[in-house]
Amino acid sequence: MLVFVTPFRPHASPEQSAASFGQPLPKSPIPLKATPISAAFPIPRPEYEWDEDYEPFSDHKKPTSTSRKTTKRTQQAGYSDAANIKRRSTKRSLNIELASCPSSSSDPNESVEEIMMMFDSLQRRILQLDEKEDAGRRADLKAGTLMMQNGRRINNLKTIGPVPGVEIGDIFFFRIEMCIVGLHAPAMAGIDYISVKHVRKNDTLAVSIISSGGYENDDNDMDILVYTGQGGNSRHKEKHDQKLERGNLALMNSMKRKNLIRVVRSAQDLFLNSGKIYIYDGLYRVEDSWMDKAKNGFSVFKYKLRREPGQPDGISVWKMTEKWKANPATRDKAILLDLSSKVENIPVCLVNDVDDEKGPSYFNYVTGVEYLRPLSKTKPLQSCQCPSVCLPGDPNCSCSQLNGGDLPYTSSGLLVKHIPMLYECSSRCHCSQNCRNRVTQKGVYLNFEVFWTGNCGWGVRSWDPIRAGTFICEYAGKVIDETNLNMDGEEDEYTFCTSWPIDKVLGWNLGAELLEDASANVTTERLKRLPIAISAKCSGNVARFLNHSCSPNLLWQPVQYDHGDNSYPHIMFFAMKHIPPMTELTYDYGTRGAPPGIKGKFPNAPKLKPCLCGSTNCRGSF
């Protein structure tokens, strides 16, 4: 395995302030049968008022006349009275903990990553606790509320243009995530705007919009977005024509002022039927506007936005990978359409779009590990007697008890916390194969490609968007005796050896730990040294091509499901954060090339290798 190449991370786009107002754009034709807005509505002087799309997490405070509104909002967020009591006590302990965990980085990207990791960890843990108590399922809103109440957000002030630390192509699985990083403040409304002073009067200008996906685009031109205005279609009020106010007025003003607008596209989450994924697509300007008739017969506003040139790819990457998934043969520069030769559940594409390198040296593609001795001679793993599936909060589930009283995965299969040892249900358990505690043993369900990085060897990336906590793959190969390791030879390039978790991995649990006693935290003192070493030189899977980074997006988790010898678990990789399609997958090899305890005992212990990851936290070697 060679040195990590810097993953695809788009740079900040140009123009950050309103100083760029007034730059001309190419004229676009007004669509046929369009009615100019000025002909239908005079533009009124904007007045500040609250609409039904008000979000509970903005910097502005909405006046309330009665306590009923607060109660209603709380109920909509998924709280019961009992849950409110529990969460209030949680908030008090959370305040104390948060005061002691300020951001440890001055780099905006690192700060955004820390906030996002804290939120995701908190959200997953709240969901885990709520499932045990059969409480409300809006764990995202509960986590967001706790973050907001404790000041754990960044980029609080609304600005026109790029948001520090948020890159084009970044993905989000909850709208509240965009709120806490300052990309889009409203938790519900699709248009975010600010008030500005212009010619001795206040105007509103749009700063960001979220497209629901139902735009009237030519799909071949991803630089154009036709956006439908807001209002008139509430489920709780009588439908009516849209009005030139609030967000609609802000977009109209933005067309005249030609200010930059952040655009977030949305797509269906293919791994969660009712879920959406939000993709930050960069900066646009409003180029045209008109009125149209909606399917319900009422008038709506339409806005044509054009993407600023010279920006990194955003939604176009998604369109490209969707085409490849539908037909892998359309992938340009593919050397092999399936490196696994149908061993994996989904083909693994081998690609070189850099030079003439033909492929990696021969190896046998396998999906598991070969142990030093037969499993029949190892200690069996404890099994549960659950009749159908393991249920959260079931005190009689022995697998749950092995994992500290909790099932380690959410209902959608996400890892809740990084723990010293994770126990999945085994073949001896009575529960079915549909049990949520059987995740990694079912294999890979992501569309991977192994690609040539140029001067840094082969790497791995996915055609799919990956959510934090998602299972990636196992490190497959042959378990070897650590005393026979030759870490200076070719074996080293394809050998996995355990090392102490880095601070970033330990911090992955931070949000979850804020809800618990300090004694429950996973620290290096609780983690035991694992003597396991796995060689993938002759046999392995995509994991043998995972490169190193000092700022990785994957972590490794020891998992047991087919035997009870904890010294030789399966090594499973999970996503530490949300990973956009076509981003290289990496993990931290550690500062030792051999397992803990070997260095100093063997004269052939390896020398550190230079690191080329290029991250702000790069140690310079691994």
Q: What is the pLDDT of residues 180-196, one digit of tens each?
A: 999 999 988 899 999 98
Helix/strand/coil for 39: helix
CB of 548 within 8 A of CB of 161?
A: no
pLDDT band at 91 (very low <50, low <70, confident <90, very high): very low
For tokens 């990194």, what's the residue? 312
DSSP string, 473-519: EE--EEEE-GGG--TTSGGGGGEEE--PPPHHHHGGGHHHHTTS-GG
Give the Cα separation of 472 and 545 in Å (integer): 13
Cα dihedral: 473, 478, 484, 488 (round 10): -50
- Cα–Cα distance, 557 to 395 (Å, whole number): 25
Q: Whose structure tokens read 């009422």?
A: 298
| pLDDT of 70 higher than 90 | no
- The continuous run of DSSP H or E covering 79 comes out as none
Question: What pLDDT score was predicted for residue 385?
Answer: 95
pLDDT given for residue 529 in this prediction: 66
Q: Measure Cα distances from 117 to 28, 100, 169, 404, 509 in Å.
A: 42, 16, 18, 22, 8
How many whole angstroms separate alpha carbon 369 and alpha carbon 96? 45
Q: Compute the chain's Rg from CA coordinates.
A: 26
DSSP string, 176-210: HHHHHTTS---SS-SEEEEEEEETTEEEEEEEEEE
- pTM (2 decimals)? 0.81
DSSP H or E stretch at residue 38: helix 37-40
Mean pLDDT of 320-343: 96
3-class state of residue 84 by DSSP:
helix
Mean pLDDT of the chain: 79
Q: 265: burial class by Cβ within 10 Å (0-12, 13-18, 19+)? A: buried
Most confident of 265-279, 332-346, 527-541: 332-346
pLDDT attached to residue 77? 33
CA distance 511 to 90: 12
Residue 177 in this model has a pLDDT that exceeds 60: yes
Structure tokens belonging to residue 303: 């806005």
| Dihedral sign computed on CA atoms, order 510, 516, 518, 524 | negative
* pLDDT tens-place string over residues 105-144: 688 999 999 999 999 999 999 999 888 887 766 899 999 9
Q: Of 94-98, 201-205, 519-523, which gets the smallest average pLDDT?
A: 94-98
Q: How far is CA 176 from CA 78, 143, 210, in A?
A: 15, 9, 13
Query: Which pLDDT value is given to residue 621?
Result: 76
**Quick one: what percent of the chain has pLDDT higher than 90?**
52
Most confident range (mean pLDDT) of 178-192, 197-211, 598-612 is 178-192
- State pLDDT tens for residues 151-164: 889 998 999 999 99
Q: Under 8 Å CB-to-CB from 237, ≥6 apart: which residues?
A: 52
Domains and CATH numbers, the chain: 166-326 (2.30.280.10), 327-517+526-587 (2.170.270.10)
Task: State how far the Cα of 425 lies from the Cα of 398, in Å rounded to an integer.
Answer: 9
Note the pLDDT of residue 260.
97
* Residue 395 structure tokens: 């005190």
- Inform me whether the pLDDT recorded for 198 exceeds 70: no
Backbone angles phi, psi at 13, to 5 degrees: -80, 165
Nearest Cα to 116, choosing from 108, 584, 213? 108
Contact 444, 346 (CB under 8 A): yes
Query: Among 422, 550, 467, which residue's Cα sits nearest to residue 270?
Result: 467
Question: Tell me, what's the pLDDT at 483?
Answer: 63
Encoded tokens for 530: 């694992």
Q: What is the pLDDT of residue 303?
A: 96
Give the list of residues 6+ apart from residue 597 with CB closer than 8 angstroms, or none. 529, 531
pLDDT at residue 219, as a whole number: 55
pLDDT of residue 433: 94
pLDDT of 34 above 70: no
Residue type for 528, please? K
pLDDT at 439 over 90: yes
Helix orientation angle between 81-99 and 108-133, rounded to the nearest 10 degrees? 150
CB 37 within 8 Å of CB 217:
no
Q: Which of 26, 420, 465 shows the shortest CA–CA distance to 271? A: 465
pLDDT at site 459: 96
Which one-letter DSSP state was computed for residue 253?
H
Token duo for residue 398: 């022995």
* E strand or H helix that includes residue 270: none
Q: Report d(CA 352, CA 335) in Å as an integer.
A: 7
